[in-house]
Amino acid sequence: MRKRWAVCAALAAMALACNVQAQEVSGTLKKIRDSGAIMLGLQTESVPFAYRDPDGKIIGYSVELCQRIADGLKTQLGLAALEVKSRPLVSAARVPLLTGNAVDLVCGSMSHTLEREAQVSFTYSHFFSRVRAVVRKDSAARTLKDLAGERVVLATGTTAVRLIHIYEKNNEVKFDKQYAGNFSQAFSALQEGKAAAFVMDDILISGLIAQNRAQNSYRILEESLHEEPYAIAMRRDPAFKQAVDGILAGLMKNGEVEKLYSRWFTSTIPPGLNLQVPASAALLAAFANPTDKGVKEP
């Protein structure tokens, strides 16, 4: 079955490539073709999606997906070579850099929400996460409500910022909210006892804990504030989205994305981490039948 899908995906990609080369391109595709380059915006703290290795190079699951997409675009545009440029970015800068034409794709751990769709477009989903809270192991808290009145740290530019406000309203509680500029700063606040909890996507919390020497000093609460799909973000450009989605669908259908997932989530990755997070049934279903459905924030 997979071989048949691979053949179909290859034929579809060839047909799309011929179509792109045969017609006059515009928008982002024209920008890439004329410049001979594509600019990737890479997050730097999203283990294992996009983060710095010990040598400072930005690597990860989403980074490799974007590199594969760039390879596919080079073929579709009939280019002999395509320079893949990149620049680091923080969560709060993702949308402004896209809409300002500073980057063409955002590669990292960006949640696909309907609210964000008003500004940018998203590819097919490549991961599903849940927004949860991490506390120190000696905390008595079992839910966020148990931390009413205490300091909760959040990373600016993430969906957790909005979700915690909604949680306060729905549960009639108030937290002393602290905002950090990035994930590391937020986790450090928890680590140093300056905050009782850090609310963030559970997979990213797991990555931060895995990098910490005192891994057994933290506990992720079971309570989930929201489930969110991750996707690569791009400008609202229908022709570009069609081209990118076609490439990504081919990689999903032929098993390449599943191989990349295994490499980054169930194998040892720099600097010697193994998250041991096998693909969920929902994610495998999304690989078999790609979906670009976003979720509405509560």
How many other CB atoms sit within 10 Å of the CB of residue 132?
23
What CATH architecture does domain 2-126+231-288 belong to?
Answer: 3-Layer(aba) Sandwich (3.40)
Whether 7 has a pLDDT exceeding 50, the answer reads no
pLDDT at position 292, please? 98
CATH number for domain 130-227, candidates 3.30.43.10, 3.10.20.30, 3.40.190.10, 3.40.50.1220:
3.40.190.10
pLDDT at position 238, please? 98
pLDDT at position 5, please? 47
How does pLDDT run across 176-214, given as a tens digit for each residue? 999 999 999 999 999 999 999 999 999 999 999 999 988
How does pLDDT run across 238-259, given as a tens digit for each residue? 999 999 999 999 999 999 999 9
pLDDT at position 98, please? 98
How does pLDDT run across 34-45, given as a tens digit for each residue? 999 999 999 999
CATH 3.40.190.10 location in the chain: 2-126+231-288, 130-227
pLDDT at position 18, please? 46
Strands (DSSP E) found in the chain: 37-42, 45-46, 50-52, 58-59, 83-88, 105-107, 121-122, 127-136, 151-155, 176-180, 197-201, 218-220, 226-230, 233-234
Strand partners, 130: 227
Whole-prediction pTM: 0.89
Q: Is the dihedral of CA 239, 229, 280, 50 positive or negative?
A: positive
How does pLDDT run across 155-171, given as a tens digit for each residue? 999 999 999 999 999 99
At residue 23 the predicted structure's pLDDT band, cuts being 50, 70 and 90, is low
